[in-house]
Chains A and B, each alone.
Chain A
Amino acid sequence: MSGFAGFTLRRAVGAVVTLLAISVIVYVVFYATPGNVAQITCGPRCSPEQVHQVAQQLRLDDPLYLRYWHFLQGILVGQDYSTGTSVEHCSAPCLGLSYQSDQQVMQVILTKLPVSLSLVFGAMVLWLLLGVGTGVLSAWRRGRFTERALTGVTLAGVATPSFVIGLVLMIVVCGQLELLPFPEYVSFSDDPEQWMWNLLLPWLTLALSEAAYFARMTRASMLETLAEDHIRTFRAYGVGERSIVGRHALRGALAPIIALNANDFGAMVGGAVLTETLFGLPGIGQELVHAVNVVDLPVVVGMVLVIGFFVVLANAVADVLYAVADRRVVLT
């Protein structure tokens, strides 16, 4: 792969440009919206003087472009913040300070990110296994009872909201059968085994409805591949159905699976709010909803940027996998 270095470079530049664009849009959308940020941050009981002081601290009187410039500076070289009495240094990739807690946004994100990534990675493994497996099985057993049954199940999976699945799982597995304790997040570095047991239900919750989409898509694109001419060639040469489905048809169906997976992975990092809330997982999604509610703008902007980063990253990885799966694809 001679063009790989060039590809990485181009993608990196593209990612930076994308993230810059996202930051501009998010910044403008959130900071230019009406509403007295200083008042909200300070609290309802603040006097006008206090509000004014907060506004100065937050540089709310500066023009928007200047504030954006400071924001960018913070990301690139870090920044010093005065919190009234002391001066705090926020080092290089600095996304600012939370209005609410005065914590550095980067710190907030870094504490939440492992939770979200744990959730999404594990769920992804499950949804790929379940979804692609079901899809392959339906394509192989096409026209028979197995396929019809699986089609019904996946349709039900697509139609059921994830919080319903999660709730049912929790009530049945933890409440009735008492197979697992009610989940509580344990970090991987503390206790890998507990980490897994506690995340099992959230993973299943997130994966089941997602797997249904993958099953449907895998089945559809495999059936499409099975109708292609090269499949006819292998039939005409006596190659067995198992090999035709498992080797040739699945290979042709990989590209859309990779593409869908990249999208979903990126979106789930910040978008698994329902599952996080249901199982009390302190992840990015939950924190983002909270930050929006209290108008903690630096946290919102920082999180949107981080989520954007993961979407861009997931898609770049998908492009590489694409090229590995299909040698006709030229990385540019």
Chain B
Amino acid sequence: MSLVQVTDLTVEFGDLRAVDGLSFRLEQGAALALVGESGSGKSTVASALLGLHRGTGARVGGAIEVAGTDVQEASDDELRRLRGAKAAMVFQDPLSSLDPYYAIGDQIAEVYRVHTRVTRRAARARAVEVLDRVGIPDAQRRSRSRPHEFSGGMRQRALIAMALACEPELLIADEPTTALDVTVQAQILDLLHTLREETGMGLLLVTHDVGVAAESVDEVLVMRHGRVVEHGPVADVLETPTEAYTRELLAAVPPVDARRTTPGGLSEAVARDGGAVLPGASAEDVEAVSAEGGQAVSSVDGEVVASGAVSGDGGVVSAGASAEGGKAVVSGRGEAVAPGAAPGDSGTVSAGPDALAAQVGFSDASAEGGGAASPAAVTETARRVSSGASVDVVLEATGLRREFGRGKRAFAAVDDVSLTLNRGETLGIVGESGSGKTTLGRMLVGLLEPTAGEVRYEGHARVGVNPAVQMVFQDPVSSLNPRRSVGESIADPLRARGERDEKRIRGRVTELLERVGLDGAHYDRYPHEFSGGQRQRVGIARALAADPRVIVCDEPVSALDVTTQAQVVALLGELQRELGLALVFVAHDLAVVRQVSDRVAVMRSGRIVESGPADEVYDNPQDPYTRQLLAAVPALDPQVAARRRAARRELAAA
């Protein structure tokens, strides 16, 4: 008998059909991942397995059998006996998923006592035992702590301990690592792996991250709009996906171990976008991509350009293209042809070798197809290089330090950080939460006053906010005022500059909206009417309104789905190319940073531990922390994932 058997499952919330005719089966001890973007219905399925939709007004159809219990037909009592005892769930956000008022050991003991007739004392002992099992040091003492006294990773361990308490046959993990840093994520995934090896329990992993799935499961089920897109063994689905959507999803995942495609990783992302658009993408996707000016790249016979097709052959592309100045034939997998303009670096290479690193930036236009702007961009690049012989520094920070708190409680969030940003280049800043990267970004923009050190813009020290240095914020939902139309939000910098002519403001805002790929007529719409990706475009338009030379992007894509993420990254690259912007790209995602950055700085505890050209840092990391970070990134290839796991063990042992 299968551990989980779902047949023709449908879940409806009012008029919305979140899950539509889904069937799958999970054998005892096996591991399956439900992979999909937000809104694909994957978490709804996970909740349905435990009958959590009962009494919420959702309509659940089809048959669900979990560990011998018919979830649809079971009485409330039978359902309670299933929950926690035979099938236990681990939730996404470990802070909000635990009761803030009770000690962690007490919460685990409470759950344990629901399913076993044991004394309080015995339940408490069991709690300590499972906490110890999931690697909480000094479990006896720590079991008396409340959730807020635990770090994010420890909280997730505690939730897993709660799941283990009754030795369930099935563990359902709903985005178990999404809220965690990459090194902690690796630890949690390794823990799940070990526990599964030891206890033989089945695992149903719900995740938006294909890499996380590749690390952890045997089988993958790709979901979209509540339906199965593709289902099969993990190696097959990830290596030879048969469905277009799966390919799109995979293509949108930036590889951390691949060199940034020469020249300009961002434009390659456009290519991937373009590729993704062709086969049956939703209307919104098409609109978004074409509005970006990136026509779909296709080969002569209409084959989609797969990711990596353009990559790895930068040299060939530029050589051929610079000679011709016309069509570039890309031979990554020998099947894709990119018609259109020359790659932007052709001029640069001959013009000024010194300036290469800075100028190459995102100047490539080849992947975009026949964008009219690209020849102009090439000339522009070439002109800039030949006229200004030396690299211009637009932004320079020296000895930046920022403390929070006073007296004994003071601590330095950023400590003695110096960096330079050249015209037109992208500087990536990576670090885990608490590393001080956001504080640094805010100081660069002038939103925060440094405790020590200074920020110089074009050689001049500045205090306060500088219109030429703008910011794009992480959370596109909360960084826009929900009560004001997006047009008004975008107009803010214009008004701040003293522009009073309403007609001119409206005109400029419309232009900006169109510039970032939105409809100019959306001036009067409100933020809630837009999707996450569109809202981030609004944020970018607002940053552009002040005609900046530098944009600091603080985690601009971390709240977005992978495919949307790729589109926004592409947009940033395109804007940089056309407007000659310098970007500071602050993010925790190592792969994204590699794909967009010319140079990278790795931050830890307020300091830059390593910096240099992106490929150098990633291919040959010098600092042990950088190595640890890189080893923690989940790999798309299950075999690579296994090797990384081994490497992590070594690093941990060392």
**Chain A contacts to B: CB under 8 angstroms:** 228-230, 232-240, 243, 247-248, 251-252, 325-328
Contact = CB atoms under 8 A, between A and B. Distances in A.
Contacts of A240: 80, 114
Nearest to A241: B76
Contact of B83 (A229, A235, A328): A235
Nearest to A249: B99
A235 B52 contact: yes
A200 B577 CA distance: 81
Contact of B101 (A234, A235, A237, A327): A327
Contacts of A233: 89, 91, 97-99, 159, 162
Given A326-B101, A327-B146, A238 B52 contact: no
A252 B98 CA distance: 12
25 contacts: A229-B96, A229-B97, A230-B97, A232-B91, A232-B97, A233-B97, A233-B159, A233-B162, A236-B83, A236-B88, A237-B111, A238-B80, A238-B81, A238-B82, A238-B84, A239-B80, A239-B114, A240-B114, A247-B110, A248-B99, A251-B99, A251-B101, A325-B101, A327-B101, A327-B146
Contacts of A326: 100-101
B588 to A, nearest CB: 23
A14 B114 CA distance: 47
Interface of B: 50, 52, 79-85, 88-89, 91, 93, 96-102, 110-111, 114-115, 146, 148, 159, 162
Contacts of A247: 110
Nearest to A236: B89
A229 B85 contact: no
B114 A232 contact: no
Contacts of A235: 52, 83
Contact of B84 (A228, A236, A327, A328): A236
A186 to B, nearest CB: 42
Given A237-B162, A238-B114, A252-B101, A229 B93 contact: yes
B71 to A, nearest CB: 13
Contacts of A228: 96
A237 B97 contact: no
Contacts of A243: 110, 114
A269 to B, nearest CB: 30
Given A237-B88, A239-B110, A243-B114, 4 more contacts: A230-B99, A234-B110, A237-B114, A239-B80
A250 B642 CA distance: 46
A237 B172 CA distance: 12
A328 B148 contact: yes
A327 B106 CA distance: 15
A237 B83 contact: yes
A111 B146 CA distance: 47
Nearest to B168: A237
Nearest to B115: A238
A320 B99 CA distance: 21
Nearest to B96: A229
A247 B111 CA distance: 13
A239 B111 contact: yes
Nearest to A237: B84
A163 B162 CA distance: 54
Given A239-B111, A239-B114, A240-B114, A328 B85 contact: no
Contacts of B110: 234, 239, 243, 247
B538 to A, nearest CB: 29
Nearest to A239: B114
A231 B236 CA distance: 39
A238 B83 CA distance: 5
A232 B47 CA distance: 10
Nearest to B110: A239
Nearest to A230: B99
Contacts of B79: 238
A234 B85 CA distance: 12
* Most chain B CB within a 10 A radius of its CB, from A233, A237, A239, A240: A237
B52 A232 contact: yes
A234 B102 CA distance: 13
B91 A234 contact: no
